[in-house]
Amino acid sequence: MEIDLNEKVALVTGGSKGIGKGIAEALAAAGANVVICARNQQELEQTASEIADKTGARVVAITADVTNQQDVERLVQQTLEQVGEVNILVNNAGGIGKTGTFDEVEVEVYEQLYDLNVVSMVRLTKAVLPAMRSKKWGRIINISSENGLQPYPDMLPYDMTKAAIINFSKGLSKELGEHGILVNTVSPAFITTPLVDQMLQGQAEKAGITKEQAEKDFLEQKRPDLVLKRAGTIEEVGAAVAFLASDQASFITGTNLRVDGGSVSSI
């Protein structure tokens, strides 16, 4: 099955590194013109250049803070001016926030993380919907996590926001389907990103073991239900997003596609 996104324009938030970069590259490789946004201009421009060189697609870098309404409006306006339209929105920007016990995490952490992880998606979605409605075609793909279905007690603010994303996507899909706009969620589990690599390398150095052994130990201790017994890759997440963005997924909306190696125990 060949994914063909030629003549489509995708906007990927948090697109400068990690999962966002993998998603942007997958969409570009499928033929889409891609706009990526993040807050670090240097990282963003470097990523745009790398993806463009690798795929031959047009990749536009626009700095923006998705927690700022004016930035979001400017991001969408510049996207429309430079690329012409937005057919595919991937809401990927977000963070983990402070971890720890319930008593250790302040209320402000919940508030700030909800704004970054959830309300930012509302802002972006409202901003792109007029263009999608006018075309009667659109894909909105929101990036959640296994934590949205299987919460971990030391990550409660993150767990809460990721569950909200799944709920938001399902509810919105019921309203927008009649306009030809499909809304889905992708929920990765333990994915090898630069941040995860850094965490594993730190654990390995501290314990005097290899990074590979540190990953094995982490999976056994922290993710025992991940049945494939390995970390996922950003390419595997990108492939799932590209599929949901394509016409091959034209009868799929309101779903939560788990790219989790079987980590979530429920059906």
Burial of 199 (0-12, 13-18, 19+ CB in 10 A): middle
Q: For residue 60, which of 43, 79, 39 has the smallest C-alpha distance?
A: 79
Encoded tokens for 21: 């970069």
C-alpha 201/C-alpha 215 separation (Å) is 9
Encoded tokens for 27: 């969409």
Give the list of residues 6+ apart from residue 192 with CB closer than 8 angstroms, or none.
Answer: 231, 232, 233, 234
Task: Give the alpha-carbon dihedral of 161, 24, 258, 222, to 10 degrees.
Answer: -70
Question: What Å distances lie between residue 48 and 15, 60, 165, CA to CA?
Answer: 9, 6, 27
Active site residue 114: no
Q: What is the C-alpha R_g of the chain?
A: 18
Q: From the candidates 110, 114, 152, 158, give the one annotated as an active-site residue.
A: 158
Give the list of residues 6+ apart from residue 186 with CB closer than 8 angstroms, or none.
Answer: 141, 142, 143, 144, 237, 240, 241, 244, 256, 257, 259
List, by residue number, the catalytic residues: 158
